[in-house]
Amino acid sequence: MKSEKAMTLITTAILVVVITALVFAIVYYARMQYAKEYLEDIKTDMLLVQAKVKTIQGEYTLEKKKEEVLKGTKIADMQENETIKQFLENENIDISQKDKKYYVLSEKDLEELDLKQVTLEENTYYIVEYTTNEVYYTKGFTYSDGNTYYELTEIENLHANINE
């Protein structure tokens, strides 16, 4: 008579499949949570930049549109920068519009604006448009659908859709 103390081959195979499915589910959940937290960090940083931009835009209006008030580097002056060039090639913004005031904010500019808590990765920038107070992140956020979002408004909408 056979001993029934040991697990059969079928029972072992079922156990391996269940454990594998459990591990994949945990890894998937962890990756989704990391993506949500990363998106939240980007959104928070961009909102801080936008709040500062709104303050500067108010000063710009009060100073009778003197461009010295605007912080950062004009995007036209940085078109040779590889990161900016690639961002513009993706057609995220149209810098040819005369009424738009696009400026690039680097890590140094953020420190001058007293936004030391806002971090930038190497070779990335925030681009701000002072007339609409829109903020762009040159690296963007790539969502699981394969699309990359650069604009604060798009990132806020994406964040709202994820949390529904």
Four-residue CA torsion sign, 48, 53, 56, 62:
negative
Rounded distance between C-alpha atoms, residue 141 and residue 150, angstroms: 7
Give per-residue pLDDT as tens, 26-44.
999 998 888 888 889 999 9
Give per-residue pLDDT as tens, 97-124.
778 888 999 998 898 888 988 888 888 9
